[in-house]
């Protein structure tokens, strides 16, 4: 009996050690709940803020899997009396979640079809063998593609292309470590830059559009592109230059490696009729996003494409089920529901008021200062959380800071792409880091340069170009 008790105590202590940040989060949450509520906050609004704080602790420290954190967010909203189970479920499952689900499934289709080889050949035909041009080409293509099919998809497609080119240059990783860093970061940061360009570039954009709709605002696919895409184009050559000059690749010309890759791609099978059909379906999806997203929703159109691929036998459901990250979908839905609760309970307005109290005079004296505050807060959060989670949480708050909710909402969405500093800031960063050829401190080494430039550029951009087109 004593042995059983000792074993049980030992198991409990081990569990408590492993899950200590979960315990800390719960204790902090309980203490905050028991404290007097700030003036101007309803019980529901205060509870939603407490849930936000505890959720941030759990997401940052990750003592339990992210899908479990998502379930925690959903349950605490219900048990905390913020809304009924049906109300939370309605906020959880919306078009933004449909889009995330559909885009992850489309990523599986693209990889299964082997489109990466075709893309590689196209890049090299354009760039030639000069290293600086290849870096610029990888960054440009990654940015353009991620604008339409999502950063994680593009990073997954481009990584094997970049790795093959690096290996063809030299099998000794020490001899090509700077070259590897330049190519891999051009993929990751290209994906980040491009993801802000269109509503279909990432889940965070769809989330922001959802918040616009809830606020009675309307923004079409083309209108988003007109406002944001020039900023994408401006960043591409600047970021490419910073990458090249930060890492200074060992090889200036990749003649032999490019020839090897071209030969490899040329030996692959030519396009078949079925391959052509898959491309046509994807083109139809993009056309649907551009012209019909306001009517049917980006998520609905993405899932329509997935349905056509399954119906045509171009992908098996088993493959989709196996390779679709369902936990990510649950997490996105949960953070969106929490963001909705923060908005609907009045917590967003209260938090925005606190920011105004702190910085209100500066905002009045310098109109661009509100943009700066939002960009800095969003960038910081995006490098701790995922960009989509950041927008889901901050979107309702920042939109209350200034009368022009559309302006500040787009600033929030655009700056959420500045996940340059950490490995976990964005899926594209995590994907290239998985190559084993770049270190976590490389992100900070390069990221602070690009982050600083991007922040300054965005402030200038929104206070010049946006004023001109409006």
Does an H or E element contain 422, and which? none
Q: Which pLDDT does position 2 carry in this prediction? A: 47
Q: Which pLDDT does position 117 carry in this prediction? A: 60
Sequence-distant (6+) residues with CB within 8 A of 379 are 415, 416, 418, 451, 455
Residue of 202, 223, 222, 204 whose CA lies nearest to 146: 202
Residue of 161, 185, 178 whose CA lies nearest to 261: 161
CA distances from 415 to 169, 194, 289, 384, 411 (A): 36, 12, 23, 14, 6
Distance between CA atoms of 240 and 139, rounded to whole angstroms?
Answer: 7
pLDDT tens digits for range 276-325: 888 889 889 888 877 887 788 878 888 999 999 999 888 899 988 887 77
Distance between CA atoms of 137 and 140, rounded to whole angstroms?
Answer: 5
CA distances from 259 to 120, 160, 266, 270, 373 (A): 12, 17, 10, 19, 49
Only one residue has tokens 């003036």, namely 39
**Alpha helix (H) ranges present in 325-437?**
326-344, 347-365, 368-382, 387-398, 405-415, 427-433
Domain residue ranges in the chain: 95-469
* Residue 35 DSSP one-character state: S
Only one residue has tokens 């979908």, namely 329
Sequence-distant (6+) residues with CB within 8 A of 415 are 374, 375, 378, 379, 382, 455, 458
Q: Which pLDDT does position 267 carry in this prediction? A: 66
Least confident of 125-139, 195-209, 302-316, 423-437: 423-437
Distance between CA atoms of 325 and 203, rounded to whole angstroms?
Answer: 14
Distance between CA atoms of 268 and 136, rounded to whole angstroms?
Answer: 26
Distance between CA atoms of 383 and 272, rounded to whole angstroms?
Answer: 42
pLDDT band, very low/low/confident/very high, at 74 (cuts 50, 70, 90): very high
Q: Which pLDDT does position 467 carry in this prediction? A: 87
Sequence-distant (6+) residues with CB within 8 A of 48 are 77, 80, 82, 338, 341, 342, 345, 347
Q: Name residue 130's beta-bridge partners.
A: 253
Q: What percent of the chain has pLDDT over 70?
A: 92
pLDDT tens digits for range 46-69: 999 899 889 888 877 778 887 888
Grouping H, G, I as helix, E, B as strand and the rest as coil, residue 19 is coil
Q: Look at residue 426 and tell me whether its pLDDT is greater than 80.
A: no
Only one residue has tokens 């769809």, namely 206
Q: Look at residue 1 and tell me whether its pLDDT is greater than 50.
A: no
Radius of gyration, CA atoms only, the chain: 23
Q: Which pLDDT does position 391 carry in this prediction? A: 86
- Residue 149 CA, chain-centre distance (Å), reads 12
- Asked if 377 and 118 count as a contact pair (C-beta separation under 8 A), the reply is no
- Asked if 248 and 238 count as a contact pair (C-beta separation under 8 A), the reply is no
Q: What is the pTM of this model?
A: 0.73
What is the average per-residue pLDDT within 392-403?
84
* Residue 271 DSSP one-character state: P
pLDDT band, very low/low/confident/very high, at 218 (cuts 50, 70, 90): confident
pLDDT tens digits for range 75-120: 999 999 998 899 888 878 877 788 778 877 887 787 677 666 666 6
Q: Which pLDDT does position 462 carry in this prediction? A: 93
CA distances from 10 to 2, 5, 20, 23, 383 (A): 12, 8, 15, 17, 37
- Asked if 199 and 224 count as a contact pair (C-beta separation under 8 A), the reply is yes
The CB-side HSE value for 327 (13 A sphere, CA atoms) comes to 8
Residue of 199, 233, 226, 217 whose CA lies nearest to 413: 199
pLDDT tens digits for range 337-365: 887 888 788 887 787 778 777 777 777 67
Only one residue has tokens 């905002």, namely 363
Residue of 372, 320, 404, 363 whose CA lies nearest to 108: 320
- Asked if 179 and 249 count as a contact pair (C-beta separation under 8 A), the reply is yes
Q: Which pLDDT does position 349 carry in this prediction? A: 79
- Asked if 438 and 178 count as a contact pair (C-beta separation under 8 A), the reply is no
Q: Can you read off the two tokens belonging to residue 357?
A: 């109290």
What is the average per-residue pLDDT within 367-388?
82
Grouping H, G, I as helix, E, B as strand and the rest as coil, residue 253 is strand
């Amino acid at each position: 009996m004593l042995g059983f008790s000792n074993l049980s105590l030992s198991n409990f202590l081990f569990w408590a050690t492993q899950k200590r940040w979960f315990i800390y989060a719960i204790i902090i949450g309980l203490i905050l709940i028991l404290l007097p509520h700030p003036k101007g906050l309803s019980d529901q609004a205060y509870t939603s803020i407490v849930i936000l704080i505890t959720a941030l602790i759990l997401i940052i420290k990750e003592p339990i899997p992210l899908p479990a954190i998502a379930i925690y967010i959903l349950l605490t909203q219900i048990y905390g009396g913020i809304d009924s189970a049906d109300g939370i479920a309605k906020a959880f499952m919306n078009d933004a979640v449909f889009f995330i689900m559909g885009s992850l499934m489309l990523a599986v289709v693209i990889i299964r079809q082997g489109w990466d080889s075709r893309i590689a050949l196209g890049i090299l035909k354009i760039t030639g063998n000069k290293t600086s041009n290849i870096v610029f080409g990888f960054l440009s293509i990654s940015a353009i593609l991620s604008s339409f099919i999502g950063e994680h998809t593009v990073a997954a497609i481009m990584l094997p292309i970049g790795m093959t080119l690096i290996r063809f240059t030299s099998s000794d990783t020490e001899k090509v470590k700077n070259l590897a860093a330049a190519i891999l970061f051009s993929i990751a940061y290209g994906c980040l830059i491009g993801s802000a360009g269109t509503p279909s570039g990432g889940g965070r954009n769809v989330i922001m559009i959802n918040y616009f709709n809830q606020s009675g605002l309307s923004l079409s696919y083309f209108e988003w592109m007109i406002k944001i895409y020039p900023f994408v184009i401006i960043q591409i050559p600047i970021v490419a230059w910073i990458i090249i000059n930060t890492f200074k690749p060992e090889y200036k010309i990749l003649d032999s490696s490019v020839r090897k890759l071209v030969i490899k791609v040329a030996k692959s099978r030519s396009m078949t009729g079925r391959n052509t059909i898959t491309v046509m379906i994807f083109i139809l999806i993009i056309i649907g996003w551009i012209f019909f997203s306001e009517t049917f929703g980006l998520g609905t159109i993405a899932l329509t494409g997935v349905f056509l691929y399954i119906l045509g036998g171009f992908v098996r459901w088993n493959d989709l089920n196996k390779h679709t990250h369902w936990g990510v979908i649950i997490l996105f839905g949960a953070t969106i529901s929490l963001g909705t609760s923060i908005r609907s309970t009045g917590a967003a307005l209260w938090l925005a008021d606190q920011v105004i109290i702190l910085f209100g005079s500066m905002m009045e004296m310098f109109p661009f200062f509100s943009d700066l505050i939002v960009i800095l807060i969003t960038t910081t959060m995006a490098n701790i959380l995922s960009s989509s989670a950041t927008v889901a949480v901050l979107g309702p708050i920042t939109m209350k800071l200034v009368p022009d909710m559309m302006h500040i909402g787009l600033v929030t969405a655009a700056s959420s792409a500045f996940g340059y500093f950490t490995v976990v800031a964005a899926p594209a960063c995590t994907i290239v880091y998985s190559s084993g050829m770049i270190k976590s401190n490389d992100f900070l080494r390069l990221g602070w340069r690009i982050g600083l430039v991007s922040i300054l550029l965005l402030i200038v951009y929104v206070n010049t170009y946006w004023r001109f087109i409006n």
